[in-house]
A and B are shown apart, each in its own frame.
Chain A
Amino acid sequence: MACNTRNKYPAQVFNNENHRLNLYGDNVEVDYRGYEVTVENFLRVLTGRHETAVPRSKRLLSDEGSHILLYMTGHGGDEFLKFQDSEELQSHDLADAVKQMKEKHRFKELLIMVDTCQAATLFNQLQSPGVLAIGSSMKGENSYSHHLDSDVGVSVVDRFTYYTLAFFERLNIYDNASLSSLFSSYNPSLLMSTAYYRKDLYKRRLEEVPVTNFFGSVMETIHTDAAYKALSRRNSGRFEDEMSLDQSVHHIERRMLIKVNDGYEIHDINPEGEEGASKCPWSTFRNKFQKAENVDSLVNYGLVAMIPLLVISTWLVQ
């Protein structure tokens, strides 16, 4: 959206018509944009099934202790969310992806926030434990945008998103706001829809869970009590030694970048193996065809074979 040619302020997305906050600012990292935003890529990110060449910044590098926030906004309806005006994410696909994530321990807790029409239907089919989901509207209700920015020409923010952002702008770093205060801050008359949340899969009580559990990229930390003092016994004079020539050569050898593809011998296996199981005579013919370097001679044979056909047909016509 920010780099859409119809955006009057290129690479800037505001949350308010006063243009105070640029949501696409310097510190925002966008990994998938434009045509890469597809249902398949979204499910690949969730389940972790990428091609080997996909860089780490485009992967979800989570483990069994991670808390994940999934915030989706756009157009949607009964059990679906619209992607790029041409495809849909269905609720059972999302539930299946979450189930696979849980089986592979890719998260400990997951918060799904959806801001679309009939948003609560999108997480109807979820079954995995540890998931908390909130939608901006229930089945049969619409979600509305907040206000229109006449300068840019479109509505800049939806109501649910606007009130969520307002809640977080009111907090400072040491406030211990809980998720239940966030969920109860949504006023149905202001939202013009009912924000519905689902906590049957989430074991903890919402009053005890701080919002920094999911927001703010806050880390669990443990203080380091002591250093490992084995090395202070060594002579510190070792470090002042000049590196001898052979030592430096040895050093250079160790500096070489480790090849990433060491363990991936399996990927070098001939892909022809897959085709071997399909119809055998066809594949051998194709192999012969491919091996036949002289394609021209084959064409000549074909042309020669067509001549008797030509003769017969002309004789029949006469």
Chain B
Amino acid sequence: MAEISEAPDSDSSKLFGSDSKAPQRPDSEPEFDPKLMRKTKPGLKRLFLTFSVLFSFLLGFPFLWKSVEIYRSPLPFREIDSLSTQLRSDTLLFPLHFHALFVGFDSDPDRLRWSILSEITKLTSQNPKCSDNYTLSVTVDLGSRCLRGRTSSPHSSSYQCGSVTGGDFVQNDDVAVDERLASVFGGKNNEYSMAVVKGVSERAVVGKYRHAWMVVGDGSDVEMAVVKVAEVLIKVFINGGREEGLIRNEFMPVGADGKIVLSFNLLNADPHDWVYDWDFEKIDDTLLTPMIEALGPVANISVESQVLYHTPKASFSYWNQKLESYVFSTKDLPFFVNSNEWHLDTSIAAGGRSKILQFAVYVPSAKECPLLLQLPNGEISKTNGFISPMWGGVIVWNPQGCLRDSEFKPSAKNIIPIQDLENMFEVFIGQFRQLFGFKSLNVYTGASGDWNLLPSERGFTEWELDVLSRQHTCFNLHSCATTLGSLSRLVQSLPRMIIKDEIGKQVKLSLEAAKLALSNASSGVYESSAASSSQARSLAEDAFFHPSIMSVSYYSFEHCFAVYSPFFLPVSMHVVLAALRELRRYKQEKAKYLAWKAKANTAT
């Protein structure tokens, strides 16, 4: 285009001679140089045209940007970070209150309190993740009056003077004593009581609720009692009778959505020999349901059962003449579960993130009956069962009289006798407790003596449930914080990944539940803090495992650039160049016109 506009100029110069330097015009216009001057004002049409194209491109650019924008729901990154730092720096503190009652002793309660506290500090292990903030109050009951020690806790002791006497402990019925003490102490949520009584026979018992008692002989001194009191408070009430107080992850069999499915399976190894069935509903109602209700705050538990046939085991056993039975050893236990033939995980009610715990009763075939488990020290196992952490447990049950096969005529369908079923379920409950890390022996052997542990019909005593609630709250909160931290790091590292609204909502709800759990825990309400903490963890896991966060499905920014640039770059280059060229030309023409005008003005 520029050539066309210059053509008339060059033509006009050609018309007037080839000398284009400074053709002399004898006319009125002095020194008109067509290369440096022009007579008419330069038009704006060309400039307008090119600039309108450029502006239309620029105008369309925001629309293009918006169309390739991806939707990212805003996540509260700062709050996630603050939750992580809060959990890391201040360890989660559970407030506990201990109350020690001494009956029949003549000692100063403040001195007793001081010595108990010093024993406790010797025993407390450093637990970096979650620890307990305890207060202690001591009461000495002299019969006629009570001496109450100085206490730093705001809890006023509700103990009525004289309610507990030495005569309560004369009979040896631990359960009755336990109930009596429960009515005296009350047993509120985070208060643990300890009664030390002078009496005839020495006995040390931990009850089903939140108290324990100790009967010491006349000759023993208070210091021994103090050591034992400290030990039971720390090792039993706080740590649950386990060795370390640390949280070992393999004893947390709760699914990411806070649910556990207990799957009970009766395995008939060889149905040609005999087929056994069981009356599961009765046992479920009477034995399992109270336990499931008791564990409500910790996990949402459901129960399923099935009977399977043709399920041989994968390991071997050998005939032992002395025991007159087939024996398998603990070396065979890792190979016992035959994952090929035992189709255990067929639950339809369990969601993808629930935890399924398998409890299997193995009925051996006639070729291997009776089947007994021999321990490494040569003894035969009393339970004939074993567990695998985070998987479940197996019990081997031998049908009655399977050795004397001439007399034993199995009918088409046999039912496992009720007494055997009850024993089996006691072992199951023992295994279930073992999966949570609790032992089922009725004796706790401490450094300073033995304590009898009273069992509860619900499978877990109140103080054990407290230990579980505290432990699970701690674990769930830490897991929630690390999951949310991982999610925020992942989201920030992939700037072009779509974050749906659902994920944003789940993160927000999870943070709210975590805050609620923290506040409940610090005020001592264990059950609701356990429930909120498991909800927080479940929501955080839902957000992290949302199926849309797959990095392989999203393109990086370089990819986007590589897709659009082959179209836009050449076109925009041409448009911009054209605009610039037109601008330059306009400026040149304008300068030429102004020069001519100046010349014309000076001439006139």
Q: Are A222 and B430 in contact (CB under 8 A)?
A: no
User: Which residues on the B side are within 8 Å of A260 (C-beta)?
Assistant: 349, 351
**How far is B509's CA from A269's CA once the two chains are assembled, in angstroms?**
14
Partner of B345, one of A56, A212, A251, A269: A56
CB-CB under 8 A for A56 and B350, given A50-B547, A51-B547, A227-B429: yes
Q: Are A57 and B345 in contact (CB under 8 A)?
A: yes
CB-CB under 8 A for A227 and B423, given A39-B552, A219-B388, A258-B349: yes
CB within 8 Å of B: which A185-234 residues: 212, 216-234
Residues 330-353 of B, flagged 1 when their CB comes within 8 A of A and 0 if not, give: 110111110111000101011110
Could you say which interface size class chain B belongs to?
Answer: 35 or more
CB within 8 Å of A: which B541-580 residues: 542, 544-547, 549-553
Partner of A224, one of B250, B387, B486, B552: B387
Asked if B490 is at the interface (CB within 8 A of a chain A CB), the reply is yes
CB-CB under 8 A for A50 and B490, given A223-B333, A225-B440, A227-B430: no
Asked if B281 is at the interface (CB within 8 A of a chain A CB), the reply is yes
CB within 8 Å of B: which A230-264 residues: 230-234, 236, 238-240, 251, 254-255, 257-258, 260, 263
Give the shortest distance, in Å, between A270 (CB) and chain B (any CB). 10
Select the stretch in A12-20, A274-282, A303-311 that faces chain B.
Answer: A274-282
Q: Are B551 and A96 in contact (CB under 8 A)?
A: yes
**How far is B304's CA from A260's CA once the two chains are assembled, in angstroms?**
14
Give the shortest distance, in Å, between A69 (CB) and chain B (any CB). 14
Partner of A273, one of B345, B486, B501: B501
Q: Are A236 and B441 in contact (CB under 8 A)?
A: no
User: Which residues on the A side are within 8 Å of B352 (C-beta)?
Assistant: 50, 52, 54-56, 59
Q: Are A49 and B334 in contact (CB under 8 A)?
A: no
User: Which residues on the B side are within 8 Å of A150 (C-beta)?
Assistant: none
**How far is B493's CA from A100's CA once the two chains are assembled, in angstroms?**
13
Q: Are A225 and B333 in contact (CB under 8 A)?
A: no
Chain B residue at minimal CB-CB distance from A230: B455
Asked if A129 is at the interface (CB within 8 A of a chain B CB), the reply is no
Q: Are A223 and B249 in contact (CB under 8 A)?
A: no
Q: Are B375 and A234 in contact (CB under 8 A)?
A: no
**How far is B548's CA from A40's CA once the two chains are assembled, in angstroms?**
11
Asked if B383 is at the interface (CB within 8 A of a chain A CB), the reply is yes
User: Which residues on the B side are within 8 Å of A40 (C-beta)?
Assistant: 550, 552-553
Give the shortest distance, in Å, between A121 (CB) and chain B (any CB). 19
Interface residues of B (CB under 8 A from A): 66, 71, 249-250, 257-258, 281-282, 285-287, 289, 302, 315-316, 330-331, 333-337, 339-341, 345, 347, 349-352, 356, 373, 375, 381-383, 385-391, 393, 418-419, 422-423, 425-427, 429-431, 433-434, 439-442, 455-457, 459, 482-483, 486, 490, 500-502, 505-506, 509, 538, 542, 544-547, 549-553
Interface residues of A (CB under 8 A from B): 27, 39-40, 43-44, 47-52, 54-57, 59, 63-65, 93, 96, 100, 103-105, 173-174, 212, 216-234, 236, 238-240, 251, 254-255, 257-258, 260, 263, 266-267, 269, 273-274, 277-279
- A-B pairs with lowest CB-CB distance, top 3: A230-B455, A27-B340, A227-B426
Apart from A219-B391, A225-B439, A269-B501, what 17 extra A-B contacts exist at CB < 8 Å? A49-B546, A54-B352, A59-B352, A96-B551, A105-B249, A218-B335, A221-B334, A222-B389, A223-B330, A224-B431, A227-B440, A228-B426, A228-B440, A230-B459, A231-B426, A234-B457, A266-B509
